[in-house]
């Protein structure tokens, strides 16, 4: 039973990575470089979209919001992780862990729906180009983005309520570099029925529909591209979606590997690096992907 043999935790220990001093220095420098590239890349993308008339379109409006979410996600995780590596302080308060759960789950779900919205945008652009200005009007785009943030907020509140019902022993250690709700549930010494129900309901009602939108959109896009007779037309249609498809594959691929594939004790170490992929690397790579693969972005940078 909860609390029968231990006191409620007031802080958690984030295991992080290797404790070898030389490796820790290398890790700190690596994550510092990644964070600087992430901040500069996403802030640069947001600024470029705002000032360049060439990028005043629905696709780049969604991309600007995705860059904002990526920037917030990195700022929520990486500085705390670097402080732990540099200062050797692995403790995080219970309130700090709650804040991480709320922020991470809010931003993560908002990113899922932004990626789904961008997939729908590409579907309309490729499959129904004549209707594109009507379907993706500025008002509808604003509602889609607002809805993404609100659904993310609902997920963050729900997961935080689920965590608040859990009881942890004072010696609880999280074998990761941030507070992840699924790991916290497995560490709890109390009844996890409510938190598991919220997690599964959120995944079913929010996560699955966003993935389905992406899958259905790209099935229709691929079908349309294959029906195009000219090779040049196929190439243009493909490059219209290539950047977003790369981002979606990286984000959802790492999430599925982390949360859907059954884990064993020997695979726990690899989980940390998969978590690094979707929490640290993806926010850094997204602006680079769009800058290198998108002709309009490259033209806007040149101007």
pTM (predicted TM-score)? 0.89
Give the per-residue pLDDT at 73: 92
Residues pairing with 92 in the sheet: 12
| Residue at 2 is within a domain | no
| Residue at 173 is within a domain | yes
| Residue at 59 is within a domain | yes
| Residue at 226 is within a domain | yes
Q: Which strand ranges, in their side-by-side order, compose the sheet holding 173-174?
A: 91-93, 11-14, 173-174
| Residue at 234 is within a domain | yes
| Residue at 194 is within a domain | yes
3-state helix, strand, coil in the chain (%, to 5): 80, 5, 15
- pLDDT (tens, 9 = 90+) of the chain, 303 residues, equals 454 567 777 788 887 776 677 777 888 898 899 999 999 999 999 999 998 888 888 989 999 999 999 999 999 998 888 887 777 777 888 888 899 999 999 999 999 999 999 999 999 998 998 999 999 999 999 999 999 999 999 999 999 998 888 888 766 788 888 888 888 888 888 888 888 898 888 888 888 899 899 999 999 998 988 888 777 777 777 777 777 888 888 888 777 776 666 555 555 556 677 778 888 888 888 888 877 667 777 777 777
**Dihedral-angle region of residue 88 (phi above 0 means left; psi in -120 to 50 means alpha; beta otherwise):** left
Count of domains for the chain:
1
Can you tell me the distance from the alpha carbon of 202 to that of 99, in angstroms, rounded to the nearest whole number? 18
Q: At 12, which helix (H) or strand (E)?
A: strand 11-14
| Residue at 238 is within a domain | yes
Give the per-residue pLDDT at 1: 46
Domain that holds residue 115: 11-302
Can you tell me the distance from the alpha carbon of 170 to that of 17, in angstroms, rounded to the nearest whole number? 21
| Residue at 4 is within a domain | no
Can you tell me the distance from the alpha carbon of 242 to that of 282, in angstroms, rounded to the nearest whole number? 16
For residue 50, the domain's CATH number is 1.20.1070.10
């Amino acid at each position: 039973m909860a609390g029968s043999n231990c006191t409620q935790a007031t802080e958690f220990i984030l295991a992080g990575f290797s404790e070898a001093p030389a490796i820790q220095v290398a890790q700190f420098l690596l994550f510092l470089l990644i964070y600087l590239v992430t901040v500069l890349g996403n802030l640069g993308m947001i600024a470029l979209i705002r000032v360049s008339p060439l990028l005043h379109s629905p696709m780049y409006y969604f991309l600007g919001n995705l860059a904002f979410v990526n920037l917030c996600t990195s700022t929520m995780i990486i500085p705390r992780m670097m402080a732990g590596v540099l200062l050797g302080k692995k403790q995080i308060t219970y309130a700090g862990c709650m804040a991480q759960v709320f922020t991470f789950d809010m931003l993560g779900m908002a990113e899922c729906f932004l990626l789904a919205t961008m997939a729908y945008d590409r579907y309309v652009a490729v499959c129904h180009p004549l209707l594109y200005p009507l379907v993706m009007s500025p008002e509808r785009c604003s509602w889609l983005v607002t809805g993404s943030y609100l659904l993310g907020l609902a997920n963050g509140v729900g997961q935080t309520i689920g965590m608040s019902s859990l009881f942890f022993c004072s010696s609880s250690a999280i074998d990761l570099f941030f507070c992840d709700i699924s790991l916290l549930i497995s560490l709890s010494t109390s009844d996890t029925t409510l938190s598991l129900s919220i997690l599964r309901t959120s995944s079913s009602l929010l996560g699955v529909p966003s993935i389905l939108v992406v899958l259905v959109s790209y099935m229709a896009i691929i079908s349309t591209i294959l029906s195009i007779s000219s090779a040049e037309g196929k190439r243009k249609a493909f490059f219209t979606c290539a950047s977003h498809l790369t981002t979606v594959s990286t984000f959802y691929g790492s999430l599925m590997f982390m949360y859907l594939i059954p884990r064993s004790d020997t695979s726990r170490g690899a989980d940390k690096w998969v978590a690094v992929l979707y929490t640290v690397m993806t926010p850094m790579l997204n602006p680079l992907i769009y800058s290198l693969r998108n002709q309009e972005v490259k033209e806007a940078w040149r101007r």
